[in-house]
């Protein structure tokens, strides 16, 4: 096994891990728009400004970081291969 194949293998594993974590972080987040908000109505909470705090803010930032890491591993695999 040469060095290029080893790096490709590690990058592929990292990409799979990042994709699973990205999917999980997206699914864990609370939906901002309810069914009423989809059709133009509002439930009072989703129609007003809501600031992210605590774990909600952490998940939001973590999702952005995971998306960037996933994109970087995808691009690096494209360049390596």
The residue ranking higher by pLDDT, 39 or 71, is 71
In Å, what is the CA distance from 65 to each residue of 7, 12, 19, 43, 59?
22, 18, 12, 31, 10
Any residues with CB less than 8 A from the CB of 22 and at least 6 apart, and which? 63, 66, 67, 70
Q: What is this structure's pTM? A: 0.72
Tens of pLDDT, residue by residue over 4-63, are 788 899 999 999 999 999 999 999 987 655 544 445 555 555 556 678 788 899 999 999
Q: Where are the domains of the chain?
A: 1-29+52-81
Dist. CA 46–CA 35, nearest whole Å: 10
């Amino acid at each position: 096994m040469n060095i290029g194949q080893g790096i490709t293998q590690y990058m592929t594993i990292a990409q799979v891990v990042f994709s699973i974590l990205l999917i999980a972080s997206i699914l864990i987040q609370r939906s901002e728009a309810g069914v009423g908000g989809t059709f133009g109505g509002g439930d009072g909470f989703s129609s007003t400004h809501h600031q992210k705090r605590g774990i909600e803010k952490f998940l939001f930032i973590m999702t952005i970081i995971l998306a960037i890491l996933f994109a970087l591993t995808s691009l690096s695999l494209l360049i390596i291969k």
